A and B are shown apart, each in its own frame.
Chain A
């Protein structure tokens, strides 16, 4: 497949792996965080770590949209979905995320009308087709998905749709990265920056990371060669004593971002003073709410919400995993009490979550893995 296969070529990967190994100073260890859950998914899905020398380790960051949704917000959404005249619409990822008492999937089985959509525009379509029902879109995600929510609200307003609203849970990546940089228990050598978010916000918002925190950041694409190239670029910066924001994903990410998307967000949404992140706690100015002019489309104002804060289960260490302090398997409940069938923490829910990715794809030590692969190689017909 064109535009995909060229970024998954094993020969180029091996060549790049050689250059990465050469760029490492012997005896030094390098820890890079991939901020985005899409990167985590790519890393595991393609077995990318097999191409990295033991000096380089990747830790998985907070950029998984459903992983950072606090339980109380899930409960609020289920509360809305249970109103008899409501159709709740949501991305598929959200369906299994556990709240204080069950997930969307459970609420649906108990009778709530919850439908999976691929785009907020699909929710709008449902609203048009069901004028006697109130249709709510469960908006989640970073700056990647926020513009499409904003554009949908603008269209709903233009059409004068009175039965459509958005339960806005959009969050922003920069405050989360800053929270991680300010966290005392972490030592990182650099960041693999999120590609899709950057297509909206551009590369400038990251400059403080290089300038104030002296950490290099490379905005990366989502194919495995993109990520390997970014690791090589980070190592290059460190070897040359540079600390910059670089753009590996220039085929998609403009340095200044997407002005149309940003202005739609600016028109429809406003900054919240603070917002709770699953595992990370409250972070100031880290999330978006609907702006006052669009109150009629704001589910938080249309519906009376319990708005209760639900503490994360004590045993759950999603926060440490999201900050990269713990590897998924180091969490106390990983794989035993918390599995993809019975997730306790959100990192186990989405395939972009670090724990689910590790459980589904990487639940196997690299040594044993390569032994089995060698055995298979030998028996090839």
Chain B
């Protein structure tokens, strides 16, 4: 073994150690979905609440209530700006929770909605948000059955925060987990990635860049149900690629399943305008958030059928097989670049920071 390889092996061992929060205070990196978030969740929340239903850290938990398994999940929304091309915090809050339930293989049924409002927030804006929540709930065929409201002093919140929780029923007996990927499996991306994150960045208007990009926010339970119906025994993992993007989700899969994921850059669907914005800002679309795209790991032998099923649905028209699962090197995501090289795709520490030149 070469000396370089010894160093690399030592690093991989280090990376498997129990995570420790070293910071004395919460920084924005802890909320960005990357390594800092992962560390915070594992070292603080999982440490305090540890139980078998929470431990897999999937998008939602499967719990038993009465006869069958029920999927249960929650998510908070603090997006800024509240209104952006393609959506607003309201439909985001409904679709996000619907999607987390869908990723557990469940049919979403009921949602709760909690609002934290800042003193002075316009009631007209709140009506606009609730109207789009109602429309999103109707589209996803879920009902918002309970809620809560708090108002905090001016300056103690940024306008409006929404928290939704949801329950769904699991009708098809499927086993979905980030730890289910096996060598030979195919990695499918359900559509062009990065549109939500790019739309939000442009909507903040910090850059003076204009591009026709709208958020991809959409409920995914319908397309997921089609996929599961077509291949009940061959779907291993479903993850919606929200914060941290496709790269972060696949790293979770590689780590939990102890496999490698090898992506093919040329096959990852990205709209040219999203690629363009990312080029200008020095960002990688693989890390940019989606709110209506998911990654499916399916048995390689049935990848073609899975792809056909997804493409037959309006939300999956541009779905693509973006990569495959291999045995080696376990825990890593690799990318075959369009330029003909190969590199690691790691989890970012915090937000992708733009390069200065």
Contact = CB atoms under 8 A, between A and B. Distances in A.
Interface residues of A, number: 71
Contacts of B342: 47, 50, 364, 369-370, 372-373
A376 B326 contact: yes
A94 B354 CA distance: 10
A145 B357 contact: yes
B262 A373 contact: yes
B23 interface: yes
Contacts of A38: 355, 357
A372 B326 contact: yes
Interface in B325-350: 326, 328-329, 332, 334-344, 346, 348-350
A45 interface: yes
Interface string A116-147: 10100010000000000000000011101100
A205 B341 CA distance: 34
B56 to A, nearest CB: 23
A46 B4 contact: no
B303 interface: yes
Contact of A224 (B4, B284, B335, B339): B339
Contacts of A371: 328
A49 B346 contact: no
Nearest to A90: B356
Interface residues of B, number: 60
Contacts of A141: 356-357
B303 A381 contact: yes
Interface string A347-363: 00011100000011111
A345 interface: no
Contacts of B25: 106, 109-110
B355 A350 contact: yes
A340 interface: yes
Contact of B184 (A51, A118, A379): A379
A202 interface: no
A288 B25 CA distance: 35
B149 interface: no
B123 interface: no
B340 A13 contact: yes
Interface string B200-218: 0000001100000000000
B10 interface: yes
A319 interface: no
A256 B262 CA distance: 45
A224 B348 CA distance: 23
Contacts of A96: 349-350, 353
A368 B329 contact: yes
Interface string A96-123: 1000000001101110000010100010
A4 B279 contact: yes
Contacts, number: 180
Nearest to B14: A336
B29 interface: yes
A330 B22 CA distance: 25
Given A14-B340, A141-B356, A341 B334 contact: no
B357 A381 contact: no
Nearest to B341: A47
Contacts of B276: 1
A10 B344 contact: no
A51 B343 CA distance: 13
Nearest to A351: B355
A192 to B, nearest CB: 16
Nearest to A360: B346
Given A1-B279, A335-B14, A341 B353 contact: no
A368 B356 contact: no
A162 interface: no
Nearest to A63: B357
Interface in B2-55: 2, 4-5, 7-8, 10-11, 14, 22-23, 25-29, 35-36, 39
B321 interface: yes
User: Which of A96, A108, A335, A372 has the most chain B CB atoms closer than 10 A to its own CB?
Assistant: A372
A381 B304 contact: yes
Interface in A281-334: 327, 329-330, 334
A181 B85 CA distance: 53
Interface of A: 1, 4, 8-10, 13-14, 38, 41, 44-51, 65-66, 91-96, 105-106, 108-110, 116, 118, 122, 140-142, 144-145, 196, 224, 327, 329-330, 334-336, 339-342, 350-352, 359-365, 368-373, 375-376, 379-381
Given A106-B25, A327-B4, 11 more contacts: A1-B279, A13-B339, A50-B341, A108-B27, A141-B357, A363-B346, A364-B334, A365-B4, A369-B342, A372-B342, A376-B326
24 contacts: A10-B338, A10-B339, A41-B355, A45-B343, A47-B339, A48-B339, A50-B340, A118-B354, A145-B357, A329-B4, A334-B7, A340-B35, A351-B355, A359-B346, A360-B344, A363-B8, A363-B346, A364-B334, A365-B8, A370-B342, A373-B342, A375-B262, A376-B323, A379-B300
